[in-house]
Structure 1
Amino acid sequence: MITLPKRSRANVDANINIVPYIDVMLVLLVIFMMTTPIIEQGIEVDLALMDDVDVMELTHIAPVIISMDKHGVLYIGASKIPATPEQVVAEIKVEMELNSNLKLKVLIRPDKGVKLEKYVELLKFIQKNTDIESVGMIGR
């Protein structure tokens, strides 16, 4: 009968090679470090909350209310006359000059059919052309 020679097993090292895991971890760290500043960039919005009502009453300044219909047409205050973004900025600047020692609030009341892009464009335009610190949104 033919007998096969027995193979002697060499001592196998059963340790896990962690170098590839460290490489993957460093790549993920770099990705997170690069995407975090991109995520943090945006428009600062101060939403009108119940606590903000007390602040408005103490300052005795009526906020500038800008309405936006479903087509993106702007209206200042209770006016039924359409306004351009430049007119909105001019109104905000006039109110800021009249009330220079108090903080002015701007509240935007968009229609529910307004696309988010139009709302964001208005916020960027106001932020770029004025020194306003507080822009809020009126919702239901």
Structure 2
Amino acid sequence: MYLANSFMSDEKKQNSHQPLILAVEDHDDSLLLISYALESMGCRFICQTDCSATVLVAKEYQPDLILLDILLPGLSGIDVVRHLKQEPLTCTIPVVAVTALASREDQERILKAGFNDYISKPYMIEDLEAIISRGLGKRLGIHSAFELCQD
């Protein structure tokens, strides 16, 4: 089944009013950091380590936001975002590029490809949370991991 490379947070069905994020990242450490940030923000999430089923997963689960690495094995994140933006069921989902490509030219090329926002690695968790919050807009009433650690 195509969800073999996916992981969904435990709160999948219980808290359906919480935003659902699809995170596609092939490096385990980066995926762990993303999942920690999403969990601390009160989001449900699906994590994928390869992008072969990203469009299918996005069509089925209709996430509120997609965090998508650019440099992935197989299809690149740029190819994936183009497919997402062509699909009627996924074309309005905000997609954030999470990438090591940090030049101004890379950023412009990524945004022109259809991404709604961009964050370059390495990043601070507060910056990741800000990008997620901006992408989700009013659907998120949360405290950041940084704020939680201050208590």
The TM-score by the shorter chain falls in which range? 0.3 to 0.5
- Larger CA Rg, structure 1 vs 2: 1
Q: TM-score, normalised by structure 1?
A: 0.35
Q: TM-score, normalised by structure 2?
A: 0.33
